[in-house]
Amino acid sequence: MAAVAKLMLLMFVVAAVGAEDCSEDDQISCSNESRCIPLRYICDSDNDCEDDADEDEDLCRAWRNDQCNRGSVQCRRLGGTTCVNIYEYCSLSDPPCEGDLDLRICQMIKDNVVRPLNEIIVTSNVGFAENNLEKSESLGEEFRILMNRTLEHDRCPPMYTLIGDQCVSLFFVGSVSWGEARAFCQVLDGELVTFRNVSHFAALVAHLREAQVTANFWVGGRYVNDSLGWTWVDDAPMDLGTPYWAVRYKEPCQTRNVTFPELEETREANNGECYNYVQAPRQHVQGQCVSITYPHYYYMTDDDCLAKMSPLCVLTDSQAYGPLTLSSGP
């Protein structure tokens, strides 16, 4: 019995060593023994696996084609069609190859074992390319969770959720210009969000963070002209600076001034030190519409009004559903 056990252990070790030799991309294991063969040996009219598995008639019929050399297949990808080796065809992703190759071959390469075609069972994740169906279903579940956190609340009408003491619509699935975003809000009996106090702003940013939202949003601020400057959609002037506006790095640097009205004097701050940071909006307007964006941690920035972002709406009459309880959570 001890001798049999030693023999079985020796056979296991030999098999394991052989399997390690099949780790190269251009090799595949024979099913009946611990032997590796290059992929180019498949269907080369030579019995390399000694059981004819690599020369299986159905396998070779699928392996060969009239468009490309043996071991290669047509790959439609990125607007073009080329011949690529079969391993590459099965491996490419984002986007994967499209073509006529039998998916059982990709499954065989993934399993790294040569088998007759009729013995191969295709699993849900064929080859090495990403399974877009599973990814799409996962995104759908994330979407459902985000919808529950951002577009419904028993104290607000449909498409709105309660943030602080306001009913707010975070339509993160939309991507439109500033003007279209405002029109969308008005269809929902609302208006683009405006910030009149820090508590509303802080509650909204906290909600976006807790809900794990990563979209960019339009809000109700814009630069009409040099005379009016930055105003909200009801023409009230906007606060420019902390704590609402983002800080940006720029080249070149510039000095800052401090003003003393009592002395009727303005002078350079900190002995004329030069700074590379500017707080939006930019001194020279580059975008006339205001957004809060994920890259800027949802601080306000001035952006091109035709850029595509999501509408961020507030219900025009937040008291329509009765007194609202202050809450910064979803």
Residue 54 DSSP class: G
Q: Is residue 273 part of a domain?
A: no
Shared-domain flag, residues 102 and 47:
yes
Last residue of a domain, one of 78, 100, 130: 130
Are 192 and 99 contained in the same domain?
Answer: no
Same domain flag for 11 and 73: yes
Please state, in angstroms and rounded to a whole number, the distance separating the CA atoms of residues 206 and 196.
17
Do residues 156 and 56 share a domain? no
Side-chain-facing half-sphere of 78: CA atoms under 13 Å: 6
18 pLDDT higher than 60: no
Question: Residue 314's closest CA among 219, 174, 217, 193?
Answer: 193
**Domain boundary pick from 78, 96, 130:** 130
174 with 301, same domain: the answer is yes
Domain boundary among 97, 130, 163: 130
Residue pLDDT, tens place only, 274-308: 888 877 776 666 689 999 999 999 999 999 999 99
Cβ neighbour number for residue 186 with a 10 Å cutoff: 14
Judgement on whether residues 6 and 112 belong to the same structural domain of the protein:
yes
> For the ranges 121-135, 149-163, 206-220, which has the lowest average pLDDT?
121-135
Say if CB 164 and CB 204 are below 8 A apart. yes
Asked if the structure places residue 164 within a domain, the reply is yes
Query: Nearest-CA neighbor of 63 among 121, 139, 116?
Result: 116
C-alpha to C-alpha distance for 37 and 28, rounded to whole angstroms: 6
User: Highest-confidence range of 33-42, 60-69, 127-136, 269-278, by mean pLDDT?
Assistant: 60-69
The answer to whether the pTM exceeds 0.75 is no
Contacting residues for 87 by C-beta, under 8 A, at least 6 apart: 25, 26, 39, 109
pLDDT one-digit tens code per residue, 149-158: 677 788 899 8
pLDDT tens track for 86-103:
989 988 887 888 888 998
pLDDT at 258: 82
Question: Of all helices (H) and strands (E), which one includes residue 146?
Answer: helix 132-150
Please report, for residues 2, 14, 57, the alpha-carbon distance to residue 5 in angstroms, rounded to integers and kept in the order given. 5, 14, 39
Question: Is 118 within a domain?
Answer: yes
259 domain residue, yes or no: no
269 belongs to a structural domain? no
Q: Are residues 305 and 178 in the same domain?
A: yes
DSSP tag of 245: B
Give the closest residue to 294 by CA, choosing from 231, 194, 212, 233.
212
Clarify whether residues 152 and 67 are in a common domain: no
In this structure, the answer to whether residues 89 and 54 fall within a common structural domain is yes
Question: Do 118 and 161 belong together in one domain?
Answer: no
Is residue 274 situated within a structural domain? Answer: no
Give the residue with greater pLDDT, 64 vs 137: 64
Domain that holds residue 118: 2-130
The verdict on residue 260 lying in a domain is: no
CATH number at residue 184: 3.10.100.10
Average model confidence (pLDDT) across the chain: 81
Residues 292 and 230 in one domain: yes
Q: Indicate whether 255 belongs to any domain.
A: no
- Quick one: tokens of 261? 């009205």
Same domain for 105 and 44, yes or no, is yes
**How many structural domains compose the chain?**
2
